Amino acid sequence: MSARDLVESSYSDPQQRARFLAAASPHSGDWLLALPITACGIRLSDEAVRVAVALRLGCSVCVPHSCRCGSLVDSQGLHGLVCKQAPSRIIKHHALNDVVARAIQSAGTLVTKEPVGLTRLDGKRPDGLTLIPWQGGKSFTWDVTVVSTLAASYVSSSARSAGAAADLAASRKEAKYTSLTNSYIFQPIAVESHGAFSASSLSFLTTLGERLTGTSGDLREMSYLFQRLGHCTAFQFGFDTRELCFRALHRLKDIFTFCNFNDMLAMLSRGQ
């Protein structure tokens, strides 16, 4: 029995097992290898790194409290990854879509975001479209989605197989845009909060990394691509849970008296 099999078999709790499988999945931890370069947009604040690593390991990140949506938040802060009022839902989606769009353009293919007029059935728009054929004479269109690995509706699947939640989300996207497949190549970009990718997303992103290498000649292009994608997910970890901790501190203010409490809140709001 390998060391990995030994560790995996020791987990009986579905959340622990799902977290381990996600952490061991391909490219889920590439963001940890990224150099913190501000000019390249891949520098995480200390708070974002603390929260992202804590969630990856299953450590406590905040004080148990009530979210503004009314749900209870435990010390692991997982509710911040599924709360419909989480402030980073749109930011996270746009950041991931921007990374994909920029990568395709860097590979030599022009793109447009949120194209209109692809279908007259319901007006739904995918996240992007190549303006020239991608393969087989068809343009390529994609749609980004992120799901929580440990959400109640996914945790049982995630505990059986890494990327299972992303695979389910990808299948829903394919059903949603099934009318596009006759004229375009449609690809869902599905990634989980803990870093695992759906099988089809992983295959496409690997191909995209190879095309980037072919364009630039740099063999590290694929690694850079997955680092940038992972950075977006890690930033979401830090942003969402920082907001949860911010509200938790306000709640504790009514119970305890903190020294320099206003200074603490100011530092937290700046991500320090």
Asked if residues 22 and 196 have their Cβ atoms less than 8 Å apart, the reply is: yes
Report in angstroms the alpha-carbon separations of 25 from 19, 28, 162, 163, 189: 10, 6, 6, 8, 16
The dihedrals phi and psi of 128, each to the nearest 5 degrees, come to -165, 165
The helix (run of H) or strand (run of E) holding residue 270 is none
User: Domain boundaries in the chain?
Assistant: 3-61+89-238
Task: State the Cα–Cα distance between residues 67 and 247, nearest whole angstrom.
Answer: 8
**pLDDT at site 122:** 67
Strand partners, 189: 144
Task: State the Cα–Cα distance between residues 218 and 54, nearest whole angstrom.
Answer: 33
**pLDDT at site 27:** 94
Residues 6+ apart with CB under 8 A from 65: 72, 73, 244, 247, 248, 251
Tokens describing residue 138: 């068809």
**pLDDT at site 233:** 80
The dihedrals phi and psi of 36, each to the nearest 5 degrees, come to -75, 75
**pLDDT at site 38:** 84
Residues 6+ apart with CB under 8 A from 208: 100, 103, 104, 107, 225
**pLDDT at site 81:** 82
**pLDDT at site 260:** 47
Task: State the Cα–Cα distance between residues 38 and 51, nearest whole angstrom.
Answer: 19
Task: State the Cα–Cα distance between residues 39 and 60, nearest whole angstrom.
Answer: 31
DSSP state of 128: E
Q: What predicted TM-score, i.e. pTM, was given to this entire model?
A: 0.81
pLDDT tens per residue across all 272 residues of the chain: 777 777 777 778 899 999 999 999 999 999 999 888 888 778 888 888 888 888 888 898 888 888 888 888 888 888 888 888 776 667 778 889 999 999 999 999 999 999 988 875 667 789 999 999 999 999 999 999 999 999 999 999 999 999 999 999 999 999 999 988 889 999 999 999 899 999 999 999 999 999 999 999 999 999 999 999 998 887 655 444 444 444 443 443 333 333 444 454 454 455 44
How are the residues of the chain apportioned to helix, strand and coil, as percentages rounded to the nearest 5? Answer: 50, 10, 40
